[in-house]
Amino acid sequence: MKCPDNGFLQAYIDGELEIDERKALEEHFSRCEKCSDALELLKSNDDFAFIKIKAYRDNIYERINTINDINTKNDIKNNFDNSINTISDIFVKAPENKQIQNKNKGVYKIMLKYKKFTAIACSAVLLTTCFAFQPVRAAISNSLLIFRANDVKSINITQKDIMDIQNQLLNNKSVIDLKNMGKIKTIGGGQKNISIEEAKTYKDINVAFPQQPNLGNPEITVNNPYTMEFTLNTASINKLMKSLGAKTLLPDSLDGKTFEVDLPSGVTLSYPKISNGYFKLFQSKIPEIKAPEGVNPDDIYNALVSLPVIPENIKKQLVNAKDWNSTLYIPVIDSKSQEIKINGAKGYIMEPSPSIREIIWYNNGVIYSMSSTFDKDELIKIANSVR
């Protein structure tokens, strides 16, 4: 055979030749020093690239594993919920019989739609329903805030707490019977993209923008308002709570009562023009729970706070949260947060991972939350420019 080209030799190295081709080539090597040398060079290039790229791959895997160690199953779950979010409209039902007494207006909590904003706290009806009921979990999505007007405070949660809750719930999975917990109806939901002009005249919320021209133009996604109506079957819920080891149960007076949870529309601004990092701003009015007349939300709160699945550490903080009717509680993981002022309003800055910072603050009935790779000072500067 005549001397083969490098491509053929490379195919030989990679085991891509047919048997007879290989034999012929090996025979050729024994006679042709030039080709043997060429083969050696190719092999050394191959080995070199292999070693470097393998180290590169191992490094990526390792970094992913590190992230997992931080977020563990939680993140998978959250991402999962994000994915499943898109199908929440399966459950869109016509708003019928929507008139509900809403004397006791209050806000319990929200899970903000943030990939990395991993946090779990607890309260109210939603706790049971959220963990047990797919569509609700999907609708509310990732992180969860216990919630009220007037003030913001943080609640410390450790990664271990989150895992503890999940393990507990996972281990008790078999006894959760969704069908009998009560009825749930959801109205609305879904998301759409709108233009900047549309956003400026958007009626549900007065969309605020960071006044920082260097960010470029944002892409704007709107989550439509979403209403859930829960009608409780206290007997079943109490059964579940008992199986989770609860001692305080929901009072029978709650049986058959309907709660309405309104998640107002949320607006997410993301800035695709930023080349070396990312920046996102989420804003939404506070969600509200409308409880039927004669129902004391404290009953529900106390029963749920006493659930044994909730780790002691969090339980203590929640029980001590006497002002839970008027304060927005932000779950903060591992206390890596710092209180700051944004335009005079109280907020928190958090660092969920070494390269990501998040700020959350509450102002005039709107909760703002931003996540970015920018450094702290830069991010605070941007937050202060939001209007």
Rounded CA separation 105/265 (Å) = 18
134 forms part of the interface with other proteins (CB under 8 A) = yes
195 forms part of the interface with other proteins (CB under 8 A) = no
98 forms part of the interface with other proteins (CB under 8 A) = no
Residue whose pair of structure tokens reads 């800055």 in the numeric block: 349
Comparing CA positions, the residue from 287, 142, 268 lying closest to residue 225 is 287
- Residues 129, 229: contact at Cβ < 8 Å? no
Question: Restricting to residues 196-215, which ones interact with other proteins according to CB under 8 A?
Answer: none
The least distance separating other proteins from the CB of residue 190, rounded to whole angstroms, comes to 14
Q: Which amino acid is at 299?
A: D
HSE of 280 in the Cβ direction (CA atoms, 13 Å)? 18
Tokens of 65: 């594993």
179 forms part of the interface with other proteins (CB under 8 A) = yes
**Beta partners for 353?**
356
Q: Binding other proteins by CB under 8 A: which of 1, 6, 256, 320?
A: 6
11 forms part of the interface with other proteins (CB under 8 A) = yes
Comparing CB distances to other proteins, the nearer of 150 and 167 is: 167
**Part of the chain binding other proteins (CB under 8 A), chosen from 18-26, 77-85, 191-199, 335-343:** 77-85
**Part of the chain binding other proteins (CB under 8 A), chosen from 87-95, 152-160, 216-224, 244-252:** 87-95
Tokens of 22: 């290989």
174 forms part of the interface with other proteins (CB under 8 A) = no
Q: Binding other proteins by CB under 8 A: which of 150, 193, 243, 355?
A: 355
Query: Hey, is 223 helix, strand or coil?
Result: strand
Q: Is 347 left (phi over 0), alpha (psi -120 to 50) or beta?
A: beta
Query: Hey, is 266 helix, strand or coil?
Result: strand
If you count them, how many residues does the chain have? Answer: 387
Comparing CB distances to other proteins, the nearer of 24 and 90 is: 90
**Part of the chain binding other proteins (CB under 8 A), chosen from 249-257, 276-284, 293-301, 312-320:** 276-284
Q: Binding other proteins by CB under 8 A: which of 1, 3, 24, 93?
A: 93
Helices 124-132/234-243 angle, 10° precision: 70
**Alpha carbon distance, N-terminus to C-terminus of the chain:** 76
1 forms part of the interface with other proteins (CB under 8 A) = no
Rounded CA separation 133/350 (Å) = 29
Cα R_g (the chain), whole angstroms: 28
171 forms part of the interface with other proteins (CB under 8 A) = no
* Contacts to other proteins by CB under 8 A: 5-11, 14, 16, 42, 45-46, 48-50, 52-57, 59-61, 63-64, 67-68, 76, 79-80, 82-84, 86-87, 90-91, 93, 115, 134-135, 178-179, 183, 185, 275-278, 354-355, 373
